[in-house]
Chain A
Amino acid sequence: MKSILEVKNLSFGYEKNKKVLNDVNLSIEDGSITAILGKNGCGKSTLLDCIIGYNEYDEGQVIVDNADIKGFSPKELSRKIAYISQNTTINLDYTVLEFILFGRTCHLAFGSAPKEKDYKIAKENAEKLGITHLLSKDINKISGGERQLAFIARALTQESKIIIMDEPTASLDYGNQLRLFEIIKELKEKGKTIVFTTHNPEHVKLLGCNVAIINDGEIIKKGAASKIITKEFLVEIYGEIVKRY
């Protein structure tokens, strides 16, 4: 299968001479699910921030659809990659419908706002995720799980091929985590490429997807979850404590 997203020799640090990511190489296949697994603070979110073009790296490349993302305008890049963040603080009272419509921005010309067609797309995606009843509610007054669904609806409304999720299960209870995994699988069926970060190996096993293990800013292993997530490997990463469970 062809690669849709490639990270080549990427190094990045927030401060000079202090690298958070060190020579990261990663290839993501079109229409696949890939988990980036690692301990807290190992560089998972930093890597995602480089992939979405938020972190301005000096060394290496991020290639999407065979082109370096540095050559894309924000609009072009957002038509290719949608991003679901770990925590976005919204102090203004946007409705869920308005929030989902934000995903149409990369399809709008300067000076224009969403039209009838855009409302239709937003509402269809809300229907797919079963959140039509929330459309007129304040985005800040719905539960964590519902908010996550609103984010996914926005990403679908953006109509980009790749969806990046930073710790998507962070604020979800067990039931909603499983529901999210179902949605991720459905998105794959529809041809979307999903990349998400997690610090929980169980999530990767449950999804049975591809996995890239990141440790201290370096990708130390990648491949199918079934082959990589073994007890021995978890002991190697997380220490002897794993053996007790």
Chain B
Amino acid sequence: MQNDYKKIKTRFITSIIILSVLTVVLFFVSMCVGRFEIPFEDVVKYFTGQTLPEISERVITYLRLPRTLLAVLVGCALATSGALYQSVFNNKLVSPDLLGVSSGASVGACFAILLGLSGALISVFSFALGFITVILTVVVAKIFKNKSNVVLLLSGIAIGGLMSSGIGLMKYLADDEMKLAEMTYWLLGDLSGATMKEVFVMLPIVVISCVVTILMSWRVNIVSLGAKESKTLGVNYKANMGILIAIATLLTAGAVSVSGSIGWIGLVIPNVIRLIVGSDNKKVLPLSMLSGAAFMIIVDMLARTLAPNEIPLSVITGIIGTPLFIYAIFKRRKDLQ
């Protein structure tokens, strides 16, 4: 009887340790890999404060370190947000863009590019529009005065569709070839311009959101059962749902604002984790955080090493994510009948 608890706990802690070690290893590999290869000894020297060739030091400080740290934060944010949305809406097939966050954030970024703004201002516009879109989705859902989550989902689809039209409009208005190319590249996801400033903006968002998410992870299970079940099991559904949606939105808007729109991670990572450990969010959420981070480091390494020019991140997440997702569907094919 007590063995069950200990067995489950030991298995979970082992998984956390394995994934943490993997993420750290990938982080160091990412420091070495790229068009300019850096020997592992130099990376060790960098992190232990020893002297290393100036060129290596500059590449790590200004290029590899910020983009790898940002990859960790963005991967963690998107996977967590996907797992949260899927759980609170009791639907494994929803993605972080469920309530229109990514589309809204993309409109914001495209609008900033259209205005000729750059860098941090694109992120600010993107983040703001992402959040405004979710608020709009919630307001539209409220009009129906219906307790069902389906109304919120449908409202998300409608507002998301509107935002997609907005992206189309921005592209149409971007007559300047440079701006259209910048928009297209941004929309496919990119970490090549990552700076430590962006890392420091994303860091508190991701850390605080993840800590709150882990604290609430058992409650996420209860919220996933719906309003009536939550109420009778002792959980304030409305308040908890509100907090969890706000966290998922914050993570998605934050990630999209610094890296552009990166698909698949939020959909695929939590579903692969569920295949391995089941649906208990006490396990799914922390493991998704780590796997998302590790996955994003791999994607970013591939983006900068596979071709002479940088490949957009969504292209790679799509190529890796599609077979993984098909595998997840294949494993669950009996449940789909």
Q: Does A208 contact B (CB under 8 A)?
A: no
Contact A94 B221 (CB under 8 A): yes
Chain A proximity mask over B62-103: 1 for CB below 8 Å, otherwise 0: 000000000000000000000000110011100000000000
Residue among A85, A91, A92 with the highest chain B CB neighbour number at 10 A: A92
By the criterion CB–CB under 8 Å, are B87 and A78 in contact? no
- Dominant SS among interface residues on chain A: mixed
Residues of B within 8 A of A113 (CB): 217-218, 282
A127 CB, nearest partner CB in chain B, Å: 9
Cβ contact of A120, chosen from B2, B225, B274, B279, cutoff 8 A:
B2
Chain B, Cβ-Cβ closest to A135? B4
**CB contact list, B284-303 vs A, under 8 A:** none
Q: Mark B218-261, 1 if CB is under 8 A from A, else 0.
A: 11011011111111111110000000000000000000000000
- Verify A49–B274 contact, CB threshold 8 A: no
Q: A91-B90, A123-B1, A123-B4 are in contact. Are A98 and B221 (CB under 8 A)?
A: yes
Q: Does B215 contact A (CB under 8 A)?
A: yes
Complex: how many Å from CA A232 to CA B244?
55
Within 8 A of B (CB), among A46-104: 49, 52-54, 73-79, 81-83, 85, 88-95, 97-98, 102-103
CA distance A102 to B224 in the complex (A): 11
Cβ-based interface call for A110 (8 A): yes
CB of B4 within 8 A of CB of A140, answer no
Minimum distance in angstroms from B334 CB to a CB of chain A: 9
Nearest CB in chain A: distance from B35 CB, A: 43
- Do B232 and A119 touch (CB < 8 A)? no
B323 close to A (CB within 8 Å): no
Judge if B5 is at the interface, Cβ distance under 8 Å: yes
CB distance B279 to A93 under 8 Å? yes
List A contacts of B231 (CB < 8 A).
52-54, 74, 77-78
Cβ distance A96 to chain B, nearest Cβ, rounded Å: 11
Counted as pairs of residues, one from A and one from B, with CB atoms less than 8 Å apart, the total is 106
Contact of B232 among A78, A94, A123 (CB under 8 A): A78
Q: Are A108 and B218 in contact (CB under 8 A)?
A: yes
Does A158 interact with chain B (Cβ within 8 Å)?
yes
For residue B330, give the distance in angstroms from its CB to the closest CB of chain A: 15
Closest to B240 in A: A74
B161 within 8 A of A: no
Please determine whether A98 and B278 come into contact, CB atoms closer than 8 angstroms: yes
Residue of A nearest to B275 (CB): A93
| Bound complex: CA A24 to CA B335 (Å) | 43
Asked if A115 CB lies within 8 Å of chain B CBs, one says yes
Output the least CB separation between A53 and chain B (Å). Answer: 6
For B182, the chain A residues whose CB sits under 8 A away are none
- Among residues of B, the one whose C-beta sits closest to the C-beta of A78 is B234
Say yes or no: B234 contacts A74, CB within 8 Å: yes
Output the least CB separation between B248 and chain A (Å).
16
The answer to whether the Cβ of A236 comes within 8 Å of any Cβ in the partner chain is no
A140 vs chain B, min Cβ distance (A): 7
Chain A residues, CB < 8 A from B274: 92-93
CA of A123 to CA of B284, assembled, Å: 23
Q: A73–B237 Cα gap in the complex (Å)?
A: 12
Residue of A nearest to B282 (CB): A113
Residue of A nearest to B284 (CB): A92
A-B complex: 6 closest residue pairs judged by Cβ atoms: A106-B234, A78-B234, A83-B232, A92-B279, A111-B215, A75-B234
Residues of B within 8 A of A (CB): 1-2, 4-6, 86-87, 90-92, 215-219, 221-222, 224-236, 274, 278-280, 282, 335
- Some 9 contacts from A to B, beta carbons below 8 A apart, are A52-B228, A54-B232, A73-B236, A74-B235, A89-B226, A92-B279, A93-B274, A94-B221, A106-B233
Residues on A lying within 8 angstroms of B by beta carbon are 49, 52-54, 73-79, 81-83, 85, 88-95, 97-98, 102-103, 105-106, 108, 110-116, 119-120, 123-124, 135, 140, 158
Apart from the given pairs A106-B234, A116-B5, 20 other A-B contacts in the complex at a CB distance below 8 Å: A54-B228, A78-B231, A78-B234, A83-B232, A92-B90, A93-B274, A93-B278, A93-B335, A102-B222, A103-B233, A105-B218, A105-B219, A105-B234, A108-B218, A110-B215, A113-B218, A113-B282, A114-B5, A135-B4, A158-B233
